[in-house]
Amino acid sequence: MSQQASPPGRATSFAWIAAIYAIAIGVTFLVMEMEAARPVFAIGAGMLASVAVTYAASLWLGNGSVFDPWWSVLPPVVALQLVGAWTPLAIACLIVVITWAARLTTNWAVGWAGLGHEDWRYAHLYARSPTPRWLTMLVAVDLVPALFVFLGCLPLVPALQRGGELGFFGWLATALGLFAAGLELAADEQRRAHAAARPGALMDAGLWAWCRHPNYLGEILFWVSLWLFGFAASPGDFWWTALGPAAIVALFLGASIPLIEERNAARRPGWAEYVAKTPRLWPRAPR
């Protein structure tokens, strides 16, 4: 398939992705059901099984971007499989996860060009990595992001299996999670409208005047909200799941943001001036 002279069109590409993820989701449910008595292990095993499906498809289709929707598709799958009791806290947590996932998956679908296109970040990784393309794809494109999502999903165990009433932290988690999804939606729509009106121009208006990465800020806040759900369900036993949002912050600050800023510095006129007056992540009123 990777040797085709012409790549499949957008409609055909979506059909391939739908089929691949139907298999990946089914495998995840099956594996998690088999390991239901060990929920943390079940999350990891289910995610690894789904990665095996998407990676095999990536190799066959010759495109690492098969993995792109995984980040937003798998967390709600895991969450639904983990529900132990339909308590107010568990229901609120599911609403937040599904809202976030629907928004992020829709954003990917709107912007995805199809299997004829591969994310520029993957090409960057292939070019810089000393390992073969297939190994770079497996480790850097699939397994490393999957590890961070696994860590981020750990608070779902107490939130969905122990549940309980909302309480102060449950309400706070719900408000923060929905705000995070709204922030990401607004940031991405502003950027999309700007790109359509001024192709190639620096985006420095709206939310992007408050910080350079409002979409990543929203993403971080979402994972923090999951930890708050877990804390609300079991503050004494599962505090260590704060490792999840901490890992997400480390991923964005250590890899995602530096990579995209390096690219912007080379491609966007006025980038240095924008950096000088606009904070990277934590927002500040425009000067």
Q: pLDDT averaged over the chain?
A: 92
Distance in angstroms (rounded) separating the CA atoms of residues 208 and 121: 21
User: pLDDT tens across 29-75, in order?
Assistant: 999 999 989 999 999 999 999 999 999 999 999 999 999 999 999 99
DSSP 124: H
Residue 4: predicted pLDDT: 47
**CB count, 10 Å around CB of 161?**
16
Which residue, chain included where needed, has tokens 């292939």? Answer: 126
Estimate to the nearest angstrom the gap between the alpha carbon of 287 and the chain centroid: 31
- Mean pLDDT confidence for 131-157: 95
Neighbour-count burial for 134-145, b at 16+ CB within 10 Å, e otherwise: eebbbebbbeeb
Q: Which helix (H) or strand (E) holds 265?
A: helix 257-267
Residue 8: predicted pLDDT: 78
The structure's pTM equals: 0.92
User: pLDDT tens across 224-252, in order?
Assistant: 999 999 999 988 777 888 999 999 999 99
All structural domains of the chain with their residue ranges: 84-277
**CB count, 10 Å around CB of 77?**
21
Residue 235: predicted pLDDT: 85
Distance in angstroms (rounded) separating the CA atoms of residues 205 and 149: 30
